[in-house]
Structure 1
Amino acid sequence: MDSQIKGTEGEDFVNELAFSSFFKYWCYPSPKYENGDKKEICDLLVIFNDVLIIFSVKNYEFKGNHLRYFNNTISKATKQIAGAFKTLFSDKEIKIKHPDKIEEIFIKDKIQKVFRIVVNLGENVKFYPFNSLTNKNDFVTVFDKITFKTIIKELDTIPDFIDYLQKREELFKDRFTIILPAGDDDFSAETQKDFFSLTDDNLNTSMKTMLVSGSENDLLAYFLLNKREFPKVLHDEEITDYYLTIDGKWEEFTNQKLFENKKEADRISYFIDKFVENELLINITDDREKIAKYLLSFDRLTRRSISQSYFDFHEKNTKNSGLYFGRRIGNFNGVGVLFTSYTDEMSDEMFSTLNQLAIESFNLYGKYKYKTIILISTNKHHRFKFGLVEDIVPYPKEYEQQIIHDINILGWFTNLTEEKYTNKEFPD
């Protein structure tokens, strides 16, 4: 097959997975230096808040020679990533183009953390380096095809994904690590020769060494079961060399009831994803984009809690009629998520006034706990209205008295309480 076609197929594979987990709106496939040489910067950029992820995708066929394969994939991809970083963070203004947006300036000053990822799509590789380093000694994560697909589907929010990347980088950045996904029977004489050639070149360095028998999926299983931390023994500074055997851990994990329980419990959390997709990322405005970013900044477990709160609130208010107005606020990572309900009998003006008073009353009686409140209003048919209040500061005393007056007229309770949801990632 033509190498260009294989390359395009590889990029499409990675793009589709990234779009589904991180939302296409923040994914820039094959971005070009639009106001410069028009050359492709990298295969995929993900830009979300202050995080940048640079992807290089290699879809070369593995033909049995590991060292030649690594040179054609990992080495070249690492250089591409280093070049992409150099271009993006040069002194020049860089403009890029998203397929669904107008040309925009890459705001480099906003970026606080950069992750670099090589996705190697060749199959039947018996071992491979767990990571790579650029010429500036920047850490580069290396995923194979199966691992990337699993991780991006299991850690299918940007917060969950970058938490794994961050902890992976912190643990392995000073280690020479080889992962061995193949079984012992797959190590032919030629494979062993390649393996020892690679390891001998690196064992002469002062870096700590780790050999991982198993796939990174197996390592992910350990990570998830261990409260999203890698094995404690791997953090022991006095141990310089490790041989970690985790073969079959992923299969064992996914066959457990707790894995099934987690999947079932997470189903409700996709209410947030669908809300962002169907309500916010259409007819984009600055406020819609801001609300979307706030909601997508929550990890999967927090989205589960918000969704449970919403559906519980909706069920309790679905039979309301007349001028009954429901309200509930929850604290989610320091952000207030306020649910209100409206009825068919309410005019838009009345509902807007009540929403405003709900926000103000929670601010006042909550002693201005929140700097940000997301408003999600619904009726019995799940028809949404939404809003965002940021940079909340105490109201003037005269205005506070007016709020108290209005609350008293409506007969609202002033001993407001927050809804609190505590969720176990793996329910019993």
Structure 2
Amino acid sequence: MDRYARHLEGKAADLKGKTGELIAYELAQVSFLKDWCFQSPLKEDGKELCDLLIIFDDTIFIWQIKNVKLDDGHYKEKHKVKNINQLIGAYKTIFVKNEEIKLPGYGILDGNVFKNIFLCSVFMGESEFISKMIEESEGLVIHTIHRDSLDIIVNELDTVSDFIHYYQMKLDMYKRPMGMMINGGEKELLAHYLKNNRDLNFNDADFIILEDGIWENLQNNEQYLARSEADRYSEIWEHIINTINEEAKLQLLDIKSLMVELLRPNRFYRRVLSKCFLGLIIKSEKHSLIEMRRYIYLESLNTAYCFMYIDLTNDNNIPVAKLLELGCIISRTQHSQAKLVVGIAYLKHGNLSSYTCILYDGDGLTTEEYENYRKQFNRTVEIVEFNEEEYPEASLVNNIR
């Protein structure tokens, strides 16, 4: 059972009675967490801005959702036009009129911070046999999403980075002078994207035809199945994110910047980080260590990570915060090119455990300071170079170092 199915398991009857807007909202939460999804935000005059806003860092998705039936295989033009007009109106409210939009738990929406803007016209009824995935109106690009496509896309691209990258690739594809015909719906385009290293370049072809069956064949591909199995390790990262987020809410802490960095890795990198973190715990407990650190750097994110294992079972006075900050400083020294360091400590309390997490964007140590550190502290430290493949051989799925 995949992550999306587990999320909605037991909710089928509940969803039947809900509106298309609420179903889309719940689907969006699978990828983005509810703290980044804002249902039916209001304008200054109290009227609804749109059906759903999804915000992450410098990216915003504006969704307008209709739950309508097909008429002779198509949606009525008036429904399409209404969705598009509402999206354009929402865009102008945020980016032209600069109205003050207040979002609960987020604050005032500032249109100036967004570099990536996606307007999405979502239809939660049956899918049209032939439809445009992307079109323009008043100089703005509109993405059309159907219910069956939404189910598959949210399930497959179930991290915010994966979701954004796919839509950016679609937008880049649309800007090229190329014709396209797809038999079988957007899932065939998604399958091509996944099979071709998450790219929609098509080698600068003038016209592309994607036949029905690419998605179905991908579902039975051995490497794809191995990737899906390997990605189960990434749920460790999900657990860390959710635990830290819930603890911060209980303590009324504002950790938006931290959450952005924890959510930034895509599904593959979450797997890499999870395996690195799990390996740290396994090795520490195998050798009965009090403290151990691992450093890893992800070049594409330009981010370094300092993972720590600290056993507080027999000594609750270990200065965890200072050790974690020092670990981040050392990580920054090791990876001076990194824009910042994410530090996460796994704290063992007998049979219980907890996490603590920080962001560090300060300086590293000088060469002399680093040498003094090495002489004074005899810590067990590993610098991990990851060699994980997104589509691994089946025999390497459970390879933990």
SS in 1 for 2:329: helix
Could you tell me which residue of structure 2 aligns to residue 204 of structure 1? Answer: none
Could you tell me which residue of structure 2 aligns to residue 40 of structure 1? Answer: 48
Whole-Å separation in 2 of the counterparts to 1:411 and 1:340:
15
Cα distance, 1:173–1:331 mapped onto 2, change above 3 Å: same
Whole-Å separation in 1 of the counterparts to 2:272 and 2:127:
40
Identity of counterpart residues, as a percentage? 25
Could you tell me which residue of structure 2 aligns to residue 264 of structure 1? Answer: 229
Could you tell me which residue of structure 2 aligns to residue 121 of structure 1? Answer: 124
- Normalising by the residue count of structure 2, what TM-score does the alignment of the two structures yield? 0.84
Could you tell me which residue of structure 2 aligns to residue 351 of structure 1? Answer: 320
Could you tell me which residue of structure 1 aligns to residue 71 of structure 2? Answer: 63
SS in 1 for 2:118: strand
| 8 A contact 1:45–1:55 mirrored in 2 | yes
| 8 A contact 1:96–1:106 mirrored in 2 | yes
Q: CA deviation at 1:404?
A: 4.4
Q: Which residue identity does 1:51 align to in structure 2? A: T
Aligned length: 372
Counterpart among 174, 187, 192 of residue 217 in structure 1: 187
Counterpart among 196, 199, 209 of residue 226 in structure 1: 196
Q: CA deviation at 1:152?
A: 1.2
SS in 1 for 2:143: strand
Q: CA deviation at 1:257?
A: 2.0
The answer to whether 1:112 aligns with 2:122 is: no
The answer to whether 1:388 aligns with 2:355 is: no
SS in 2 for 1:133: strand
Could you tell me which residue of structure 2 aligns to residue 26 of structure 1? Answer: 36
Q: CA deviation at 1:32?
A: 0.7
Whole-Å separation in 2 of the counterparts to 1:51 and 1:301:
20
Cα distance, 1:6–1:65 mapped onto 2, change above 3 Å: farther
Q: CA deviation at 1:273?
A: 1.7
Could you tell me which residue of structure 1 aligns to residue 7 of structure 2? Answer: none
Q: Which residue identity does 2:324 align to in structure 1? A: N
Could you tell me which residue of structure 2 aligns to residue 200 of structure 1? Answer: none
Q: Which residue identity does 1:246 align to in structure 2? A: E
Q: Which residue identity does 2:124 align to in structure 1? A: L
| 8 A contact 1:370–1:392 mirrored in 2 | no
Unaligned runs of 5+ in 2: 1-14, 394-401
Q: CA deviation at 1:57?
A: 0.9
Cα distance, 1:143–1:388 mapped onto 2, change above 3 Å: same
Listed as ranges, the matches of 1:126-137 within 5 Å are 126-135=129-138, 137=139
Could you tell me which residue of structure 2 aligns to residue 378 of structure 1? Answer: 346
SS in 2 for 1:387: strand
Q: CA deviation at 1:141?
A: 1.0
The answer to whether 1:75 aligns with 2:78 is: no
Unaligned runs of 5+ in 1: 176-207
Q: Which residue identity does 1:9 align to in structure 2? A: T
Whole-Å separation in 1 of the counterparts to 2:16 and 2:287:
57
Q: What do residues 8-54 of structure 1 show as CA deviations (whole Å, max 9, x unaligned)? A: 61111111110111111000011111xx2111101100111000101
Q: Which residue identity does 1:24 align to in structure 2? A: K
- Normalising by the residue count of structure 1, what TM-score does the alignment of the two structures yield? 0.79
Q: What do residues 238-279 of structure 1 show as CA deviations (whole Å, max 9, x unaligned)? A: x3xx35142111111112222221110100112112211122
Listed as ranges, the matches of 1:151-170 within 5 Å are 151-170=153-172
| 8 A contact 2:304–2:335 mirrored in 1 | no
Q: CA deviation at 1:78?
A: 1.1
SS in 2 for 1:128: coil
| 8 A contact 1:222–1:231 mirrored in 2 | no
Q: CA deviation at 1:349?
A: 4.4
Could you tell me which residue of structure 1 aligns to residue 375 of structure 2? Answer: 408
Could you tell me which residue of structure 2 aligns to residue 9 of structure 1? Answer: 19
Cα distance, 1:367–1:76 mapped onto 2, change above 3 Å: closer
Higher Rg of the two aligned structures: 1
Whole-Å separation in 2 of the counterparts to 1:18 and 1:260:
24
Counterpart among 246, 265, 286 of residue 298 in structure 1: 265
